[in-house]
Amino acid sequence: MATETTQAPWVGRPLDRIDGPGKVAGQVRYAAEEFGPGTLFAHVVQSTVAKGRVRAADTAAAKAVPAVVAVWTCLDAPRLARRQVAEYDQPALKVLSPPYHVLQDPAVRYRGQEVGLVVAETSLAARHAASLVRLEYEEGGAALGFAEDAEAFTPDSLMVPLEPDYRRGDLAAGFAAAAAIVDAEYLTPAEHHAAIELGATVARFEGGKLTVHTTTQDIHGARLCLANSLSLPMEDIRVICRYLGGGFGGKNGTWPHTVLAAFAARELGRPVRLELTRQQMFPLHGHRARHRQHVRLGATADGRFTALEHGISVQTDAARRFVEHTGEASPMLYAVPNVAVSHRGVACDIPAPTIMRAPGAAPGMFALESAVDELAAALGIDPVELRLRNEPATDPETGKPWSSRALAAALREGAGRFGWERRTAAPRSMRDGRHLVGYGVASATYPANRLPCGARVRLSADGTATVETAGTDIGTGTYTILAQVAADALGLPPDRVRVALGDSALPKSPGSGGSWGAVSHGTAVQEACAALRANLGGATDLHGALKAKGLSEAVGEATATPPKEKKTANHAFGAHFVEVRVDPDTLEVRVPRMLGVFGVGRLVNAKTARSQLMGGMVWGLGMALTEATVLDERLGHFVNADLAEYHVPVNADVRDVEVVVLEESDALVSPLGAKGLGEIGIVGMAAAIANAVHHATGVRVRELPITIASLAGEA
């Protein structure tokens, strides 16, 4: 762009994505495209019951289809050894990328489960033949409901350090001291990730070694899963994912289709490609769990919180029983002396839920930030002011100082920019013509984590450099920001830096997730560049030193490891302000204005950062108004399993979105000063919209998405 200057420092600048032109021109290859001549195509056969056993299979018609090479069901597929050959070096990996002993067991645990596989010379033949497989089931006893009295279990642990049952202070005393108490239940539906790119794997064996191109955010997790599923040593498996068409957490874990492709490739001795259909993505690729949350929040008459109780119930599957860490923000966000947060799972015969953008906080903060708004109304205190009155000086959960905390600054800056002072407190008190107008606010927060990460940098005598790490770019801008980081560290323009990502042959990475990608990979690249400089005797002019030594290349490699004990509480913060307009006759809700103000540390790239924050806010709009997957509680399938009926926001839904990033640099989170910002944009947005809808209409909607029916039902 002509407006950009062309000098260091490159970190912070709004550089265009370096992978953009290749993507637009169709020159880069996604996993599903990484196949050549001789590749076979596989299609999954799915169960048509939610619970039971496959009793018999008739595969004759499927086998008779021309070009079909193999038809297997869980009754007759080749047997797999069940050996754990690789260690799960992070607890979350056991949940997200467990071993899948595919097609070994006739048990059916959810409708849509993989119970067979057809492999053919063409994808159409495989899909057609799969439709001809006839299975008989012993069926019955599926638990599909999520009623209030459903039997719940307490998980042993959560995916984050928070205990499933967190307590501090004396809850009863806290509520006894309250002048006002909000006591309410909030419901959120199952939601699906809806990445444009479908889940896909191409697998091939050569000389006993497996190479897999697959759609994953986490190369290491996929490799672990394949190793333990197929009893193959890690070193015999190479996993590659150079480009992803969206991940959003759905591609953080590994799913059975990836194992099925490798299994078939090994059995048949030919490369196998397996791409799920959009409909298959719904049961076979994870979703955000349906939630029931009970919040009790008390405050004194002058608006000091005295007690918070946050009870979380999550509908999960019966096999993996993943319970989301939905209450993660509740112990740390506000100064509340007495707090209880509990997590429960309700195990059902449904497809497995998983993490989705801002796991934990996205559903959890809908409940908490709605309750704060309800309490503000009950107390007659402005909802921005109520939040400001409960700012904790240090982290109330750990007692540690904040690495940095910009919540109050975001609330103040946002209120000023938005024109919050124009808001009149009473519901239904603002109008524009015939439309009801509402203003809503909510806080946002997300942990600022950094994980151990490896990187290697090569500087060549021709004045170019190559950065290598197994980390992935899920569409967020990782290629671009790592070129910027290396450019500053090496004294080169970023167009001289090539970035290689997404390959298990490269230094190990924690993958892209948890908003830790930029800080983990960025720090590793900085340290690899420092190692390279040290290898050249600490030279200032690296290129000159290379020439003087007569070298064609210098290499630096490092594993950047954050300190084991954190001395500070590290989180990103923000505040959302939204305006809604509600048609008083049709009850249609529109959102003409959304403002997000964030304290997310130093930006590595102002353009990709803004895109991430904006993308999160837009998803929050979808969460508030359109997104829900509906489970048929008689038969166990998601009834709206495609993008025609699962509604993500489109351009007509998204009007004026403003993203403001406060000046902040947080060296305690990362040497880059960055905090990570891939997820915080969605956190709290649904509550801000629900709060604005209440302000506009006087109707408090506690169940997402907010629909015309939900407004009509209560109005």
Is the Cβ of residue 469 or residue 697 nearer to ligand MOS in the bound state?
A: 469
Pick one of 12, 345, 383, 513: the residue that binds ligand MOS (CB under 6 A). 513
Taking the complex as a whole, the smallest distance from the CB of residue 679 to ligand MOS amounts, in Å, to: 7
Pick one of 357, 405, 423, 637: the residue that binds ligand MOS (CB under 6 A). 357
User: Considering only 355-363, 390-398, 581-589, 615-623, which stretch makes contact with ligand MOS by CB under 6 A?
Assistant: 355-363
Taking the complex as a whole, the smallest distance from the CB of residue 228 to ligand MOS amounts, in Å, to: 21
Is the Cβ of residue 146 or residue 619 nearer to ligand MOS in the bound state?
A: 619
What does the alpha-carbon distance between residue 316 and residue 347 come to, in Å, rounded to a whole number? 5
Is the Cβ of residue 59 or residue 509 nearer to ligand MOS in the bound state?
A: 509
Taking the complex as a whole, the smallest distance from the CB of residue 249 to ligand MOS amounts, in Å, to: 2
385 is catalytic: no
Is the Cβ of residue 514 or residue 636 nearer to ligand MOS in the bound state?
A: 514
User: Considering only 182-190, 203-211, 307-315, 353-361, which stretch makes contact with ligand MOS by CB under 6 A?
Assistant: 353-361
Pick one of 102, 178, 336, 356: the residue that binds ligand MOS (CB under 6 A). 356
Contacts of residue 147, Cβ cutoff 8 Å, sequence gap at least 6: none
CB 265 within 8 A of CB 203: yes
By the rule CB under 6 A, 362 interacts with ligand MOS: no
Taking each helix axis from N to C terminus, what angle separates 361-379 and 685-697, rounded to the nearest 10 degrees? 30
Parallel, antiparallel or unpaired: strands 40-46 and 114-120 = antiparallel
Is the Cβ of residue 47 or residue 449 nearer to ligand MOS in the bound state?
A: 449
**Which residues are 44's β-sheet partners?**
117
288 DSSP assignment: B
The DSSP-derived string for 632-689 is -TTT-SBTT-STTTS----GGG--EEEEEE-----TTT-TTSB---SSGGGTTHHHHH
Taking the complex as a whole, the smallest distance from the CB of residue 471 to ligand MOS amounts, in Å, to: 12
302 class by beta-carbon count within 10 Å (0-12 exposed, 13-18 middle, 19+ buried): exposed
Taking the complex as a whole, the smallest distance from the CB of residue 355 to ligand MOS amounts, in Å, to: 4
Pick one of 126, 332, 355, 668: the residue that binds ligand MOS (CB under 6 A). 355
For 281, the token pair is 């993505």
Catalytic option among 185, 664, 679, 703: 679
Is the Cβ of residue 199 or residue 514 nearer to ligand MOS in the bound state?
A: 514
Taking the complex as a whole, the smallest distance from the CB of residue 619 to ligand MOS amounts, in Å, to: 11
Is the Cβ of residue 252 or residue 691 nearer to ligand MOS in the bound state?
A: 252
Cβ-count burial 425-455 (b if 16+ within 10 Å, e if not): eebbebeeeebbbbbbbbbbbbbbbbbbbbb
Parallel, antiparallel or unpaired: strands 435-447 and 453-460 = unpaired
What does the alpha-carbon distance between residue 165 and residue 149 come to, in Å, rounded to a whole number? 19
Taking the complex as a whole, the smallest distance from the CB of residue 614 to ligand MOS amounts, in Å, to: 17
DSSP H/E element including 172: helix 171-176
What are the start-end ranges of the H helices in 503-541? 517-535
The DSSP-derived string for 35-90 is --TT-EEEEEEE-SSSSEEEEEEE-HHHHTSTTEEEEEETTTSPP------S---S
User: Given CA atoms 375, 381, 386, 390 in this order, what sign does their dihedral have?
Assistant: negative
By the rule CB under 6 A, 506 interacts with ligand MOS: no
User: Considering only 196-204, 349-357, 369-377, 626-634, which stretch makes contact with ligand MOS by CB under 6 A?
Assistant: 349-357
By the rule CB under 6 A, 514 interacts with ligand MOS: yes
By the rule CB under 6 A, 90 interacts with ligand MOS: no
What are the start-end ranges of the H helices in 177-218? none
CB 97 within 8 A of CB 253: yes
Is the Cβ of residue 249 or residue 622 nearer to ligand MOS in the bound state?
A: 249
Is the Cβ of residue 357 or residue 637 nearer to ligand MOS in the bound state?
A: 357
Q: Which residue is nearest to ligand MOS (CB)?
A: 249
By the rule CB under 6 A, 133 interacts with ligand MOS: no
Task: Give the contact letters, 427-466, x = binds to ligand MOS (CB under 6 A), - = no.
Answer: ----------------------------------------
How big is the chain, counted in residues?
715
Restricted to residues 246-265, the positions that interact with ligand MOS (CB under 6 A) are 249, 252
SS3 318: coil
Number of chain residues interacting with ligand MOS (CB under 6 A): 9
Taking the complex as a whole, the smallest distance from the CB of residue 179 to ligand MOS amounts, in Å, to: 39
What does the alpha-carbon distance between residue 328 and residue 282 come to, in Å, rounded to a whole number? 26
Query: Helices (H), strands (E): how many in the chain?
Result: 17, 24
Taking the complex as a whole, the smallest distance from the CB of residue 529 to ligand MOS amounts, in Å, to: 27
CB 504 within 8 A of CB 472: no
Taking the complex as a whole, the smallest distance from the CB of residue 226 to ligand MOS amounts, in Å, to: 19
Pick one of 188, 217, 338, 476: the residue that binds ligand MOS (CB under 6 A). 217
By the rule CB under 6 A, 359 interacts with ligand MOS: yes
User: Considering only 55-63, 351-359, 423-431, 596-604, which stretch makes contact with ligand MOS by CB under 6 A?
Assistant: 351-359
Restricted to residues 309-328, the positions that interact with ligand MOS (CB under 6 A) are none
User: Considering only 138-146, 350-358, 496-504, 630-638, which stretch makes contact with ligand MOS by CB under 6 A?
Assistant: 350-358
Is the Cβ of residue 252 or residue 608 nearer to ligand MOS in the bound state?
A: 252
Question: Nearest 5°: CA angle at 671, between 407 and 14?
Answer: 70
The DSSP-derived string for 337-361 is SEEEEEEEEEEESSPPP---SSTTH
- Looking at the annotation, which residues are catalytic? 679
Which residues here bind ligand MOS, judged by CB under 6 A?
Answer: 217, 249, 252, 355-357, 359, 513-514
